[in-house]
Amino acid sequence: MIVVFGSLNMDLVMAVPALPRPGETVLCPSYRVLPGGKGNNQAVAAARAGGAVRLFGRVGPDGFGEALRGNLVANGIADGDLRTAEAPTGCAAITVDPHGENAIAVASGANLEVRATDVPDTVLIPGGHLVTQMEVPAEENWAVLRRAKAAGMHTVLNLAPAPIPTPALTAALRETVDILVVNELEAAALACGLDEDPASVDAATLCCRLTDALRVVCVMTLGGRGVLACDGDRLWSVGTLPVTVVDTTGAGDTFTGALVAALDAGEPLPLALSWAATAAALACCGHGAQDSMPHASQIRTFQANMPPVSKLPVE
Ligand code: RIB
C-alpha cells in the first residue's frame, strides 16, 4: 500500500509566450483550471501506474475542494482520507512558455492545516511506502515520516519545493527518510547546507555525496538528461525517452508517483527508475500536471523504447 501525505492545489494554468520577468506583465488569451498540488499529483501518478493509494491532506470548504475530491475519486482514490480545512483550498498560478518550462507561485491555504495526526496508525503497514513532499508544514512531514519508519514502512521524500537548508533539515532527513527524490536545484540547495560547492562537482558525484551525507538512497532527476540514483554501493544512470515537450508541470510528481508504485509492487530499484523515467517523459507531452500522466499500460509500451539502465562507479 502507498500512503501519500501532502498537498492538493487547484492549478490556474496560463500558456504564455514567455515567462514573466520581475516587474513584467505577460498577456495570454485564456487559462485552464486543473487539479494539481504535489501530493495530489503524486497520488494520482502512483494510482495510474498501478499502485493502491491513499491520500491524506486537506482542502478548503469551497468549489475547488469539491472538484479536487471528485478528481481523486475519478482516479480510483477514495476522498474519505481528506479533511476539510478552515482555509480555502490551495491554489497555484502556473505560467508555461512555448518550450514547456514553467514558473509557479502557490498560495498554500488549506495545505498549511495538514497535520501528521490526520494519518491513523492503522494505515502505517510494514513493507508499504509513505510518500511526502514539502508543500505541507515540514514538522508535520517529519512527524509522519518518523511514525512510518517506526512502523516498518519505506519512507520517500520528494524535497520539493526546496526548503532553506539548515542543520535541523539535515538531521531530520537522516533520521526519517529512506529514499530522497530531488531535482538538480533541490540537490544544489541541499549541498550548500552540507558545505559542499555544487558548482564544483558533477551531478553523479553530487548524487553520491548526498547519499553518503544524508544516509539515504538519493534519486536525482536531471530533466531531459535522465536520472541518477545512488544507494551507497551502486550508482545507476537512466536515460530518457525522446519526446516533444509541451509542459513539464508535474513531471517530477509523475516520476515520484510512478517510482513508488513500481517499488511497492516489488520491482528492483533500477527497473523502477526506468519505469518512472518513462512515465515522467510521457507526462511532459500534454498540458497540465495530470492530463498527460500515463497509465500502467502506456508506461509498459513506451518503456520498451528506453535505453538500458547503466551502472557507474560510485564517486
Ligand atoms: O509539481 C507541480 C505542482 O506544483 C503543481 O500542480 C502546483 O500545484 C504546484 O504544487
Domain that holds residue 294: 2-7+37-87+112-312
- The answer on whether 292 is annotated among ligand-binding residues is yes
Residue 94 lies in a domain: no
> Ligand 1: distance of its center to the CA of 53 in Å?
19
What pLDDT, on the 0 to 100 scale, is given for residue 254? 98
Query: Is 247 a domain residue?
Result: yes
What average pLDDT does the structure give for the chain?
96
Q: 313: CA distance to ligand 1 center in Å?
A: 34
Rounded to an integer, what distance in angstroms lies between the CA atom of residue 79 and that of residue 87? 18
Which residue's CA is the closest to the ligand 1 atom numbered 6? 36
**Is 68 labelled a binding residue?**
no
Residue 315 pLDDT greater than 90, yes or no: no
In which band, very low, low, confident or very high, does the pLDDT at 105 lie, cut at 50, 70 and 90?
A: very high
Residue (of 262, 252, 210) closest to 235 by Cα position = 210
**Residue 153: inside a domain:** yes
Strand, coil or helix: 307:
coil
Backbone phi and psi for residue 103, each to the nearest 5 degrees, phi listed first? -135, 130
Q: How far is the CA of 249 from the centre of ligand 1 (A)?
A: 7
Residue 236, domain member (yes or no): yes
Query: What's the grid cell of residue 110?
Result: 488549506
Catalogue the E-assigned strands of the chain. 2-5, 9-15, 32-36, 53-59, 82-84, 90-96, 102-107, 129-132, 154-158, 179-183, 217-221, 227-230, 235-238, 310-312
Per the structure, the count of domains in the chain is 1
> Would residue 253 show up in a list of annotated catalytic residues for this protein?
yes
In a domain, 175, yes or no: yes
The one-letter code for the residue type at 83 is R
Residue 93 lies in a domain: no
14 domain-assigned: no
What is the rounded distance in angstroms from the CA atom of residue 167 to the CA atom of residue 173? 10
Q: Which residue from 49, 72, 46, 47 is spatially nearest to 59, judged by alpha carbons?
A: 72
Which of 22-26, 51-55, 272-276, 286-290 comes out lowest in average pLDDT?
286-290
Give pLDDT tens digits for 145-180: 999 999 999 999 999 999 988 999 999 999 999 999
Residue 129 lies in a domain: yes
| Nearest-atom index, ligand 1, CA of 160 | 1
Where is 90: in which H helix or E strand? strand 90-96
CATH code of 55's domain: 3.40.1190.20
